[in-house]
Structure 1
Amino acid sequence: MDLDLFSRCCILDLDLSCGEANAASGMAVHDECKIKFLELKAKRTFRYIIFKIEEKQKEVIVEKVGEPTQSHGDFAAALPTAECRYAVFDYDFVTEENCQKSRIFFIAWSPDTARVRNKMIYASSKDRFKRELDGIQVELQATDPTEMDLDVFKSRAN
């Protein structure tokens, strides 16, 4: 069965007028997402936050938080291997001038092993969700762990 673009978009519930999926414009963001992000940003209460889209509720929720003592390795290990997620990571580093600094990274995790539908939902909702988190300094798109390893964080932080 050969479908034209319009038919495929209707099947996938895409809105051609704005170029985004209806799921993106109708995707709610649970208040806890914003609250936890503000705590990470202002109080440094967490090292990272992993967010998950609950498809049935059409809502982004907090799935997991990492304590301030947790490492980049702990964060990477907390991401699922076959499902997409959004995440923020508070990356601490020391500049060449020996100044302690921090950058808040937004990571769009979309592993190659994730289902196509899962990838599409996360991709179409990303920009709207990211706008809810005021204070993101660096964005990473990662499809496998090497695209967000510590060296990538180091190179993108400056």
Structure 2
Amino acid sequence: MAVDDECKLKFLELKAKRTYRFIVFKIEEKQKQVIVEKLGEPGQSYDDFTASLPADECRYAVSPDTSRVRNKMIYASSKDRFKRELDGIQVELQATDASEMGLDVIKSRAS
């Protein structure tokens, strides 16, 4: 699975300049690559982030139990390569349910 150059660029902007509050990435199956789906503006909240995640599809942030098994497998198998492309990720959180990515969980993992 390839990683679109925009993913790396936007990640570096977030990391270096705090240009975005969050980035949601998705796998574009037809193109066989990871792409940027959503850029969170600096003023957006954690609620805005969680609202941008689809309930029944995978993204690099959450893998809901209602997703198709094939969809989960594609995301799981592409994760390590994607992480290697985004140099500097310090905390990884895998969530299969919204309760596993509450702000309290994020804060405890990041500290």
The Cα offsets for residues 40-69 of structure 1, whole Å up to 9 and x where unpaired, read as: 000100000000101111010000000011
Residue in 1 that maps onto 2:69: 116
Distance in 2 between residues matched to 1:71 and 1:149, nearest whole Å: 13
Counterpart AA for 2:57:
E
> In the alignment, residue 88 of structure 2 is paired with which amino acid?
G
For the residue of structure 2 that corresponds to 1:42, the secondary structure is helix
Question: For this pair of structures, how many residues does the alignment match?
Answer: 111
- Distance (Å, rounded) in 1 between the aligned partners of 2:13 and 2:104: 26
Q: Counterparts of 1:28 and 1:77 in 2: how far apart (Å)? A: 27
Coordinate RMSD, CA, aligned: 0.7
**Equivalent AA in structure 1 for residue 22 of structure 2:** Y
Cα deviation digits, residues 2-56 of structure 1 (max 9, x gap): xxxxxxxxxxxxxxxxxxxxxxxxx111110000000000010000000010111
Normalised by the length of structure 1, the TM-score is 0.69
Match for residue 57 of structure 2 among 43, 64, 83 = 83
Runs of 4+ in 1 over 4 A off after TM superposition: none
- In structure 1, list runs of 5 or more residues that go unmatched: 1-26, 87-106
Provide the secondary structure at the position in 1 that maps to 2:42. Answer: coil
- Structure number with greater Rg is 1
Aligned twin of 2:95: 142
Distance 2:36 2:52 in 1: 13
SS at match of 2:26: strand
Q: What TM-score, normalized by structure 2, do the two folds share?
A: 0.97
Rounded to whole Å, the distance in 1 between the matches of 2:77 and 2:53 is: 20
Higher share in helix: 2
| Structure with a larger share of its residues in strand | 1
Question: CA offset at residue 153 of structure 1?
Answer: 1.1
Identity among equivalent positions (%) equals 80
Structure 2: which amino acid aligns with 1:155?
A: S
